Chain A
Amino acid sequence: MKNDFLDRSHSIAGPGFSRWLVPPAALCIHLCIGQAYALSVFNKPLSQAIGITAPAPGDWSIPALGWIFSIAIVFLGLSAAFGGKWVEDVGPRKAMFAAALFFCGGLFIGSAGVQLHQLWLLYLGYGVIGGIGLGIGYISPVSTLVKWFPDRPGLATGTAIMGFGGGALIGAPLAVALMKFYSTPTSTGAAPTLATMGAIYLCFMLIGAFMVRIPAAGWKPAGYVAPTASVGLVTTENVLVSSAVRTPQFYLLWAMLFLNVTAGIGVLGQASLMIQEMFPFRFPHDTTAATAASAAAAAGFVGLLSLFNMGGRIFWASTSDFIGRKMTYAIFFLLGAILYACVPGAGHAGNLALFIVLYLVILTMYGGGFATIPAYLRDLFGMVNVGAIHGRLLTAWSAAGIAGPVLVNYIRQYELDHGVAKADAYSITMYVMAALLVVGFICNLMVRPVDSQHHLTNAEVIIDGVA
């Protein structure tokens, strides 16, 4: 099939095109795929799809449903890793188009799975196919944004990746509103909700794909003078993805992303339970009404965390343009370790306000870690292959998506099995997370400029077709 419109050559910006039109195109993709963070709003309706008002025999368990998200994150990492080079080759428009088809196709298949009550269809649809859409969609605008904003790569990639955090803020209330609209005495409304969201997101993502443009060869922002020599970690050279994965810098950044995400996911996943168990006087469960009010307040807390997770992405990534990537990560790991270690103290002191503030700042740095890493990669490996290298690095996210919850749940269960009170069972977890961040701090300290043997020559950059 002839599909010229999607080709890289047909998405080159003409004269007078404003580069500020590119971040909204990227946001069209990331705000949609960020819905993955809000998947848990389907847990309750899907766990009582047969019983409607309460789980009935044959209904899916919450742990079984939890695998949908885990599979999606694993396939996000795999598709980003293996599809990164393809995304660089075909350009952002075709990649965004493919991401829209995969992600929304996953939602449609998931909807069929709910309708037919076949869990494997949800695993295949939302998990595998949707997960591929997540991975391709996540990396598709990164390289393009870095090329449009050579003067502010942190701001540019932070804006797009902020959208992934913001996707949950839209996806959760949208799903709730649609399920309320579609629910009947014999249906939770989850199946048509997934299908409707698939249709809405498909429109949005396709608009993003059609809006995106790549800069013409030799384009640079008005008044921007490209550096002629590498300064510190910021290189003027370029490295192929196949060479990048043979450098210690790649593995140090992989470890940093893994450790930051492991710590963040670990506490994010248990935030609701943690605040209720550490502050039982503020979150009583002595009556049905009190339990419902406590759960609603805890859900509000989790929503607030999502907001700061999103805000941290744009704040820290754009700040990194001024203070440098290495300094930004040093703050994440050092300040993060201190804050994690302070959380149990805030709980023991019964200081709810301090507990919330600590958690909110931690979440800004969790989001900031995601959003700043593409600019860090661009500094170290150059801008030509940054999308593909970023894709490979995202396997750290997949690994952390499994390691974080397992680590936290294992430690907590171990504590409870050994007679530790519920409110105290989180202390060790937080100290372990703080220790992980100290390891991350050391990794960051070890980052040095990439050895010149890995640099591409100018001729090789042009042959690669992305000069």
Chain B
Amino acid sequence: MNNAVKLTLSWMLVGIPLLWGVYVTLLNALKLFR
């Protein structure tokens, strides 16, 4: 496996859960402005 594939996979591994966490947090934060 070359470095580009490794980099993509490893950053996706940590990036997807983190983005999901950010998304859910922002959804909840919207309640503050309603």
B6 touches A31 (CB 8 A): no
Known interface pairs A297-B32, A300-B28, A303-B28; A21-B10 also in contact (CB < 8 Å) = yes
Asked if B10 and A211 make an inter-chain contact with CB atoms under 8 angstroms apart, the answer reads yes
Q: Which of A17, A170, A211, A296 contacts B31 (CB 8 A)?
A: A296
The residue that A307 contacts in the complex, of B7, B10, B22, with Cβ under 8 A, is: B22
User: What is the minimal beta-carbon distance from B31 to any residue of chain A, in angstroms?
Assistant: 4
Chain A residues closer than 8 Å to B20, beta-carbon distance: 170, 173
What mask results when residues 172 to 191 of chain A are scored 1 for a CB within 8 Å of chain B, else 0?
Answer: 11000000000000000000
- Which residues 1-34 of B sit at the A interface, judged by CB distance below 8 A? 3, 6-7, 10-11, 13-14, 17-18, 20-22, 24-26, 28-32, 34
Alpha-carbon separation in the docked complex, A293 to B34 (Å): 10
Residue in chain B with minimal CB distance to A307 = B25
The listed residue (A20, A170, A204, A207) touching B7 by CB distance below 8 A is: A20
Q: Does residue A128 face the partner (Cβ distance < 8 Å to B)? A: no
Choose from B6, B14, B29 the contact partner of A303 (Cβ within 8 Å): B29
Q: Are A304 and B25 in contact (CB under 8 A)?
A: yes
Do A300 and B30 touch (CB < 8 A)? yes
The answer to whether A299 has its CB under 8 Å from any CB of chain B is yes
Query: Cα distance A133–B11 when bound, in Å?
Result: 23
A307 and B32 form a contact (CB under 8 A): no
Contact B24 A169 (CB under 8 A): yes
Bound complex: CA of A163 vs CA of B17, how far in Å? Answer: 11
B16 to chain A, nearest CB (A): 10
Give chain A interface residues in 288-306, CB to chain B under 8 Å: 293, 296-301, 303-304, 306
Q: Given the complex of chains A and B, what is the CA–CA distance between A21 and B8 in angstroms?
A: 9
Query: Cβ of A21 and Cβ of B14 under 8 Å apart?
Result: no
Which among A18, A204, A211, A356 is the interface contact of B3 at CB below 8 angstroms? A18
- Known interface pairs A18-B7, A20-B7, A31-B18; A207-B13 also in contact (CB < 8 Å): yes
Q: Measured between C-beta atoms, what is the minimum distance from A417 to chain B in Å? A: 31
* Structural contact, B10 and A24, CB atoms closer than 8 A: yes
Note all chain B residues with C-beta closer than 8 A to A170.
17-18, 20-21
- CB-CB under 8 A from A300, the residues of chain B are 28-32
Per the bound structure, the CA–CA distance linking A301 and B30 in Å amounts to: 9
Contact B28 A169 (CB under 8 A): no
List of A residues within 8 angstroms of B13 by Cβ: 24, 28, 204, 207
B10 to chain A, nearest CB (A): 4
Q: A25 an interface residue at 8 Å Cβ cutoff? A: yes
The answer to whether B10 touches A304, judged by C-beta atoms less than 8 angstroms apart, is no
A71 to B13, CA, bound (A): 31
Name A302-339 residues within 8 Å CB distance of B. Answer: 303-304, 306-307
Give A350 to B18 CA distance when docked, in angstroms.
34
Contacts of B10 in A (CB 8 A): 21, 24-25, 211
Interface residue A166 (Cβ < 8 Å from any Cβ of B)? yes
Min distance, Cβ B13 to any Cβ of chain A, angstroms: 6
For B25, the chain A residues whose CB sits under 8 A away are: 169, 172-173, 303-304, 306-307
Using known A-B contacts A21-B7, A31-B18, determine if residue A304 contacts B29 with beta carbons closer than 8 Å: yes
Chain B residues with CB below 8 A from A304, complex form: 25-26, 29, 32
In the complex, the answer to whether B26 meets A307 with C-beta atoms within 8 Å is yes
Q: In the bound complex, how far is the Cα of B24 from the Cα of A168, in angstroms?
A: 11
Please, which residue of chain B has its CB at the minimum distance from the CB of A170? B21
Given the complex of chains A and B, what is the CA–CA distance between A24 and B16 in angstroms?
A: 12
Chain A min CB distance to B25 (Å): 4
**Residues in B neighbouring A27, C-beta threshold 8 A:** 14, 18
Which chain A positions have C-beta within 8 A of B7? 18, 20-21
Residues of A within 8 A of B11 (CB): 24
Q: Is A57 an interface residue (CB 8 A)?
A: no
CA distance in complex: A211, B9 (Å): 12
Q: Taking the nearest CB of chain B, how far is it from the CB of A396, in angstroms?
A: 27
Q: Are A173 and B29 in contact (CB under 8 A)?
A: no
CB atoms of B14 and A169 under 8 A apart:
no
5 closest Cβ pairs, A-B complex: A169-B21, A170-B21, A24-B10, A27-B14, A300-B32
Residues of A within 8 A of B (CB): 16-18, 20-21, 24-25, 27-28, 31, 163, 166, 168-170, 172-173, 204, 207, 211, 293, 296-301, 303-304, 306-307, 356
13 interchain pairs (CB within 8 A)? A28-B13, A31-B18, A166-B21, A168-B21, A169-B21, A173-B21, A211-B10, A296-B28, A301-B29, A304-B25, A306-B25, A307-B25, A307-B26
Beyond the given A170-B18, A306-B25, please list 19 additional residue pairs across the A-B interface where CB-CB is below 8 A: A16-B3, A18-B6, A21-B6, A21-B7, A24-B13, A25-B10, A28-B13, A31-B18, A169-B18, A170-B20, A296-B31, A298-B32, A300-B28, A300-B31, A301-B29, A303-B25, A303-B26, A304-B29, A307-B25
